[in-house]
Amino acid sequence: MKQIPSIERSIAQPHKLGELRQAQKDWRNDPDVLTRLTRRLSTTLSLETQLGIVADELGEIVPFDSLNYRHRIARQDFVFASGLGGQHKCEYRLNLEGVSYGTLTLYRRKKFSEEELEGIETILGVVICPMRNACHFLTIEQAALTDSLTGIPNKRALDDNLLRASQLSARHEESYSLILCDLDHFKTVNDNHGHVVGDHLLQQAAEGIERALRTSDSVYRFGGEEFAIVLPHTSDQDARDVADRIRKAIASICVDCGDGKLSVTASCGVATHLGNETPEQWLARADDALYHAKHAGRNRTQVFAAIG
């Protein structure tokens, strides 16, 4: 027989609702540092924002001159720094359930006392779970912007960076250049050797391009066998030199196909951002330069010739 809940249980109890309201009020206004810290961290999944909160709250308890946090997330280095100086340091590797969530280091001119170190460890015990969630969220965000085959940023990430670079170029009147790099006759590679070999070649090409770049440059898989490279503070002639270096790096790749060795060449198109042109116009000019490099026989670099 189905049991019918009692009337008393099915009606909200006023005193319980009052306790809930009071608990909510205490949660919002409690001066206890751990409660306040937990509440503030729960409002965001931004790892950078969380670290700013930690630096703010921790500094009220244990004074320090600078805080540094480092973590490797989705093949990218995440670095957060607050403050400057300090020859004494205490360093903590943030681990939870056997998984690392980065390293946090505090610096100051005066040595940390044992009591202060205990206080820092208490704070870190509270922040590790929210920071884990923020790291996971950042990993998911990065996955949406990363090409699954090569591990480099994808076209969506390129679109974001082209917009940002266009705005910076126009605002500060600085040279930003774009290279489109296409592997020559790549369809033949897939047709004759299969997609496993082709995929391996693409991975090797992405790694070769990354090695040929500065840390300030960025490479993206634009689609298929095509890559895009954004070069900040780079003129068209300097970008040509980078493109030639990229082509040399790709030409040096040698893939073992079992019955022989396979290598490829690449063609590059270069365009430097002009005035207030849109990212689409900038990309179209680099694509036009690439088309002319292909049409002229491949295995070469072509710079878009701006008229006027």
Residues of the chain with CATH 3.30.450.40: 12-144
**Span 43-83, pLDDT tens digits:** 999 999 999 999 999 999 999 999 999 999 877 889 999 99
Which amino acid, 39?
Answer: R
**What's the CATH number for 155-303?**
3.30.70.270
CATH 3.30.70.270 segments of the chain: 155-303
What mean pLDDT comes out for the span 23-41?
Answer: 77
* pTM over the 0.85 mark: no
For residue range 142-195, what is the model confidence (pLDDT) as tens digits?
Answer: 889 999 999 999 999 999 999 999 999 988 889 999 999 999 999 999 988 899
Helix (H), strand (E) at residue 18: helix 14-29
Closest CA to 286 of 266, 261, 263, 306: 306
Of the candidates 97, 225, 277, 280, the residue annotated as catalytic is 225
214: which DSSP letter? -
Chain-centroid distance of CA 134 in Å reads: 14
CA 114 vs CA 93, 105, 106: distances in Å: 18, 16, 14
**Beta-bridge partners for 284:** none
Is 225 an active-site residue? Answer: yes
CATH of domain 12-144: 3.30.450.40
Closest CA to 217 of 234, 238, 231, 237: 231
Tokens of 47: 């790892």
For residues 125 and 133, what is the distance between their CA atoms, to the nearest angstrom? Answer: 14
